[in-house]
Structure 1
Amino acid sequence: MRKLSLSHLFSVKQVVSFLPIRKEEVSRMIEEMTKTSDSSGLINVSRAAFLLTNRIICRAGFGKKYDEMGKKRFDEVFEEAQVTGTAFFLGDYFPLLGWIDKFTGMHSRLEKNFRELDNIYQQLIDDHLDPNRPESMNGDILDLMIKLKQDQTAAVQIDWDNIKGILMNVLIAGTDTISSLIAWGMTALIKKPQEMKKAQEEVWNVIGNKGVVDEDDIKNLPYLKAVTKETLRMFPPTPLSVPRESTQHCTIDGYDIPPKTMMYVNIYAIGLDPEYWENPTEFMPERFLNSTIDYKGHDYGLIPFGSGRRGCPGMNIGVATFELALANLLYSFEWELPNGMKEEDVDMEESTGLTTHKKTDLFLVGKRYKYN
């Protein structure tokens, strides 16, 4: 399934094909922020990032606008999925005591959430099978998966459960992680005025008065690229990797690990390892200038997307969305903290969940930048 996803759903070609959607939704975000800035000046960056990523994923994945998804129910169901996905189930650790999870109600809560998710996926599939479906569904991720299922000559045959599994990955992994990264990136920069100034001056000097940053411009913004890597190092969207299972007995640092042991890689701790990084708790994008270290899984000190055959297949679309959004945020506004706040007052507390979000939303004053 991962190979199919890489070759058909998240290939470089597909990432490029969704560029018009990313560009349009980023422009919409900037327009909405401008209106907010004109009226009150205080912009909820976290909420804007959440809306941006949901809008992009819903259009690219299902050919539907986020507003058409029944936002309230949609948000509630997926927030519950985050909660149950990280909740403590005794049966996970002591299988013979799994009955206690039923007694506490956790089992029924999980089953209810699963049924609600399944209903959402089934509705999306039914909409795509409708012969009178809108043109916006042609070529989206779900449309490609349905065509793969219907291809009798394909090397691997997939079923509806396979498709629903990928839909869950697209929705939960695709929306939460990118919005979290945007919020943390802006948080890190607002706490470091010099780094914010460097990033903005680079964008303003390269883009000039063009009015918008396009994806083709990103390659000419090395400091922005360094900010991307530093944000991924310090604030990986998923601090723990998805679980792995050992295939055979091994010994690591004196610890015996039997086969079939469930393991997690602590991506967060690796990114802050003082034996690998100088001043690891300091946000210093400069460390990546003139450096060959990258986030693609070849440098084991920086593996926000995992590594090897089990690396995240959505890496390309995730980074493309983050960089385009961040570049336009830096280009369009001069950012300040609300009146009376200092850099040290910015809340850095994290919420619990599969994805590491800020516990409190990031509110900033955004003044529309006037080009010369």
Structure 2
Amino acid sequence: MRRLSSHYMLGAKVLQGWTDVREQEIRLMVRDIHVASNRGLPVAVPDMLSCSLANIMSQMALSMRVFMPEEDPELSNRFKHIVEELLELARLFNVGDFIPAVAFMDLQGIEGRMRRAHDKFDRFLDEMIERHTATAHDRVGKPDFLDMLMAGGCDGDYSDDQSLSPMNIKGLLLDLFIAGTDTASSTIEWALSELMLNPRILSRAREEMDRTIGRDRLLRESDLPNLPYLRAVWKETLRKHPSTPLIPRLAAKNCQVEGYDIPRGTRLTVNVWAIGRDPEAWEDPLVFLPERFLGGGKGSEIGPWGTDFELIPFGAGRRVCAGMRLGMVLVEYVVGTLVHAFKWRMLPVAAVEAAEVNMEERFGLTLQKAVPLSAITSPRLFPSAYEKS
């Protein structure tokens, strides 16, 4: 399944071929934000991101847009709530995991709730697969990722005992949707929050984009290599707010780490969140400082690709995140677009002119903001830039 994912969806060449889809979805998101800004309406950042990123993933996997707010405005919220429920349940302490003898009793009701949540997502995927099957005639000669999964691989070379069942396929789609929407969405939300909290950094990022791109068009993916400060911003976001704060691993054999004997089969949890805030690895680790990743800074040679253990938001080694390339492109492109295209300010609260950006964390399988970001936007580009979106 990892080979299929890389070959048909997450490989470098494949990602390049989906550039137009990503840019189109982000332009649609910009259009919706622009409409909201003209009406003085607040933007619920997590909901907005969830809808756009899920549409990107669904087009790459299913050749179709899952969410069309103009036709079904509730579908996006239903998807997001299912994902949130699954992640919330997965992080809970389950007595049965540590005392197997009582696991069958489900004392806390966690397993029952998890089954019901999975049933909801299962029905959601059934709807998507039915819609996908109904449009199969449009893809003759151009199979997509789901077509290849259902056909049995890139060469149809699965034997009977290796073939993917409908449950296997839906499980893979579940992983792709959650990894491609929730983790990227939370990282983008944290980056936007940090920029709103640090006007100097926000101003420098905008100056770089205005100088390189101008203010008469939106950011394109092809512009990203020319924006080193923007890249430093998302690297710093990954350091301080890794989307997956704890990465579980299983020892494949007996080994020794820092003088500790680790028996084969031991479950280990790598605390990525703590590594990113370790004062021995980073100077002033609690300060949001993108400059540390620019030329001359201590972190200028450090990247999030799994080779520098000071920064491993996607893991490392053979089990490194298969969607790492896509995640990095999405975070950098979406953060840059939102910062370049709009001014952001918090909603007024009571008699306070502007509320503070709440940076409290809510731990789970993914690192979420305790208070979701909601803000008022206003356009900062020339009107023609939004007319093209």
Q: Same fold (TM over 0.5)?
A: yes
- Are the equivalent residues in 1 in contact too, given 2:217–2:381 (CA < 8 A)? no
Q: Does 1:257 align with 2:266?
A: no
The equivalent residue for 2:387 is none
The equivalent residue for 1:24 is 24
- Are the equivalent residues in 2 in contact too, given 1:199–1:223 (CA < 8 A)? yes
CA distance in 2, matches of 1:133, 1:77: 31
- Which region of structure 1 is more displaced relative to structure 2, 219-228 or 159-168? 159-168
The equivalent residue for 2:284 is 279
The code of the aligned residue for 2:56 comes to I
- Are the equivalent residues in 2 in contact too, given 1:229–1:294 (CA < 8 A)? yes
- Are the equivalent residues in 2 in contact too, given 1:350–1:356 (CA < 8 A)? yes
CA distance in 2, matches of 1:121, 1:27: 26
Taking only aligned residues, the RMSD between alpha carbons, in angstroms, comes to 2.7
Give me the identity figure in percent: 34
Q: Where has structure 1 moved over 6 Å in runs of 4 or more?
A: none
Q: Give the one of 284, 295, 306 matched to 1:297.
A: 306
The equivalent residue for 1:12 is 12
The equivalent residue for 1:203 is 209
The equivalent residue for 2:224 is 218
- Are the equivalent residues in 2 in contact too, given 1:10–1:314 (CA < 8 A)? yes
CA distance in 2, matches of 1:350, 1:297: 24
The code of the aligned residue for 1:259 comes to R
- Are the equivalent residues in 1 in contact too, given 2:94–2:108 (CA < 8 A)? no
Q: Does 1:326 align with 2:335?
A: yes
The equivalent residue for 1:312 is 321
- Which region of structure 1 is more displaced relative to structure 2, 359-368 or 70-79? 70-79
The code of the aligned residue for 2:303 comes to D
The equivalent residue for 2:386 is none
C-alpha distance 120-298 of structure 1, shift in aligned 2 (>3 A): same
- Are the equivalent residues in 2 in contact too, given 1:121–1:164 (CA < 8 A)? yes
The equivalent residue for 1:228 is 234
The code of the aligned residue for 1:39 comes to R
The equivalent residue for 2:57 is 57
Structure 2 SS opposite 1:364: strand
Q: Does 1:75 align with 2:84?
A: no
The code of the aligned residue for 1:366 comes to T
What TM-score do you get using the length of structure 2 for normalisation? 0.86
The equivalent residue for 1:187 is 193
The code of the aligned residue for 1:57 comes to M
Q: Does 1:351 align with 2:368?
A: no
Aligned residues: 369
Superposition deviation, residue 157 in structure 1: 4.5
CA distance in 2, matches of 1:133, 1:139: 10
The code of the aligned residue for 1:61 comes to A
C-alpha distance 325-136 of structure 1, shift in aligned 2 (>3 A): farther
Superposition deviation, residue 65 in structure 1: 2.2
CA distance in 2, matches of 1:179, 1:192: 20
Structure 2 residue runs of 5 or longer lacking an equivalent are 384-389
CA distance in 1, matches of 2:357, 2:213: 30
Structure 1 residue runs of 5 or longer lacking an equivalent are none
- Which region of structure 1 is more displaced relative to structure 2, 180-189 or 72-81? 72-81
CA distance in 2, matches of 1:9, 1:17: 10
C-alpha distance 150-362 of structure 1, shift in aligned 2 (>3 A): closer
Structure 2 SS opposite 1:179: helix
C-alpha distance 363-116 of structure 1, shift in aligned 2 (>3 A): closer
What TM-score do you get using the length of structure 1 for normalisation? 0.90
Superposition deviation, residue 283 in structure 1: 0.5
Q: How does 1:122-161 map to 2 (within 5 A)?
A: 122-130=126-134, 135=139, 139-149=143-153, 151-153=155-157, 157-160=162-165, 161=167
Superposition deviation, residue 361 in structure 1: 2.0
